[in-house]
Amino acid sequence: MPDGASVPIEAAATDLDLRPLKGKVSGRNTGKNVLVRSLSGIGQAGAMFVGQGSLSQPLSESDLMRERVSNNIGETGDEQVSRLAVNQQIVVTVSAGASIYVVLEQTPKSNQPSVQTSPRSSPTSNSSNADQLRQLLQLQQELNQSATSNQAAE
């Protein structure tokens, strides 16, 4: 905001053909994800095979303990991978001057009372809807003109 305050918004952005944006993607935690999966796999395998006797011996408490440690390592690795997926902050950086649509999303608030419209107020709401529709059509025409002039310039 101009006064320095920030307001969280939920929105989706697309290109002018309503396709996903193309640009540099960051924040997917790909390196951390691969590292956690690799280390947990190595830890699981190491816990299972380190200190194991011959296969002809009967199961002992140490075998059961190694199996439990191996399972714990695997579960912890899975938990960390899930946490990385939840906490990822995906950012798409597009080139300067790229034309995009930003579609704002607003979730309905369940604690607000529903508004009853009387027959007297409906012409006002219809005229405001018509004004909004005119503004949207004008914006679409401006965007189309902008896209056409950008293509002609290239």
**Residue pLDDT, tens place only, 79-124:** 988 888 877 777 778 888 888 888 877 766 655 555 444 444 444 5
Residue 47: in which H helix or E strand, if any? helix 30-49
* Residues forming beta bridges with residue 26, ordered by sequence position: 91
- Identify the burial level of 147 via C-beta atoms within 10 angstroms of its C-beta, where 0-12 means exposed, 13-18 middle and 19 or more buried: middle
40 or 135: which leads in pLDDT? 40
Contact 27, 91 (CB under 8 A): yes
pLDDT of residue 119: 46
Q: Are strands 91-93 and 100-105 parallel, antiparallel or unpaired?
A: unpaired
Question: Tens digits of per-residue pLDDT, 38-62?
Answer: 888 888 888 877 777 666 777 778 8
Q: Does an H or E element contain 6, and which?
A: none
Cβ neighbours for 100, distance < 8 A, ≥ 6 positions apart: 13, 14, 15, 16, 21, 94
Tokens, residue 30: 């790909």
Is the pLDDT higher at 123 or at 9? 9
CB proximity list for 101: less than 8 A, separation 6 or greater:
13, 14, 15, 16, 18
Question: What CA–CA distance (Å, rounded) separates 154 from 148?
Answer: 10
> Average pLDDT of 58-83?
86
pTM above 0.75, yes or no: no
pLDDT, greater one: 118 or 33 = 33
